[in-house]
Structure 1
């Protein structure tokens, strides 16, 4: 029986690593937009290439994980992920940037699949809800990446130096885990799961909660890629201040995820989700209506709280439907979550091109309404008939 603690350490590293590289990229989007002279619509097309790379990677990463195991594929993704990340900074023209973004999205999506699969298997070894914690580690990594971008900008470092240093910082952790044997096989009940692989899952219910995840993830994806641009364009801030938008969003998200269990225990799942929906609604309205950059940061903080525990709770609910088919159920709703995460930046970009960035954000004020109305579906007391 492998050590549960070892698996938690390994999965935590993957979530922090993935979040840090993605957060570093997100904070530097205005730099790439300015350097390559991209308008909102053109930037949306480039972001779509990143999304397309991730979508292409999903089935391939799933097949490799089944054949080689999530641990082997995770280590491979860990080694390869920094390559397209650094190549972004090396891009000298639009074609090179497009190829780098596609490859970066491919490795980001592949790591998303394998690390969430590993997280689900690890959670199955425990009697605790670990998914919110792991997602908190992604947010922590993203916040560290975005905040680190601020420091590199203040120091006057080039984007290439920035991305190389961030990637290099994770090399010792890989060597430590690899040499100490922390990355061990997860003894999850995959045989029991495959024995009931033909069991029927309630697809209508999964679609309903999948849309909750999509509504949340769409906003999260939009903020990841557009927050710094919004601060630069709508509030006329400099690049270092603009980078704080995603940093504040991520920091408050990780704090809310780490403290989420307290509110879940006191208020219940449904009320916690409804509260999150209200936080995200108020946050986006502040960003739309105010003129002060400082107040806008408050809006991003509230949105970070609002988007914090919803998707992890959707994953937990999906996994609880059928313990032998938990992986299949999680994969089903994860497709909605990742679809929202990847489509969010593109949708906001297209809307902004035809209206304005602030007006495009009204979409993010509509989505919390669905989350608020359907929050009861995530309650452990709700039974699927």
Structure 2
């Protein structure tokens, strides 16, 4: 049975059970589901929009003008309240992965123990709280948009880790606090042949809520290793041969060390704020990635506002990402210096990703557990001072003409988000 049939069955269950958000199986065990059935149209056939940091094999644009795989997903969650203080949670999500597969992936599998009335500990497979919406990224019914702003929510694509976190809640006057430190390790597939490993992933999430306002600050630190066959098979031996050759270029050695994607420090600092009085909302987040490599130091953020008028929720969003990493190198020396410059520049331009998106959308709450959404996005990418191969933004499967110029892409998206 393919994913489309499964989504239709799940949507049918949501329609038949509009008021049932969890099925009680007895013995304090419950099960619930969520999903999105979406379509995306792109007016540009030179690049794919995939709404994910993973290089998925299919998207809207170059592969197919209208895509049903960009946003579609289906998830199931099971909870067991074993005792008054101990519970277990497992969540699996099926969505397109880099292998063009829809095999469900276990996102959550943790035990939760209440140490004190206001202090919980979770251990197992959990999602680190690197964003304001980390807990609801896959449950898109809980969010107003067709998808969270991609420029910001693609920056730290850590969907899960094996580790532990603490949830400490405190009230001081009118302010409710959540302090959430976490630690763990993870490995994620970025393509069918590329993986990213994050070791000693540690961070903290601090949230303050007062009346209609929410404020958040977070910091995540890890040692990243990016396993890329092209780098290991072509770039590394090429740079080493230039470095070690007679009359070679010693600069190639230092640049190889700077570009080496193995065991490099990376951090993500972010802040966010939101106001929601039930009728109107205004929210925004901003973040910065810092690395010990020459690659991928970015600033990103978004601001979004909307209003609820009965069952209708119109909204508008602006999001942007800027990559502050260099995109060229000319420091090579000696007779092989030109080769050093060429290789390093080629890698640096591959990391360029400047773009911004203007969004207008409308949500309609069909039932208490089903929302229909329509959204228009205008995405503009820009080159680094007109430099070749720096204009692709965060699109994938791009053509050379798309890479070499600033681009404007119009996306039209619809989705049905549901919980059951």
Normalised by the length of structure 2, the TM-score is 0.22
Normalised by the length of structure 1, the TM-score is 0.24
More helix by share: 1
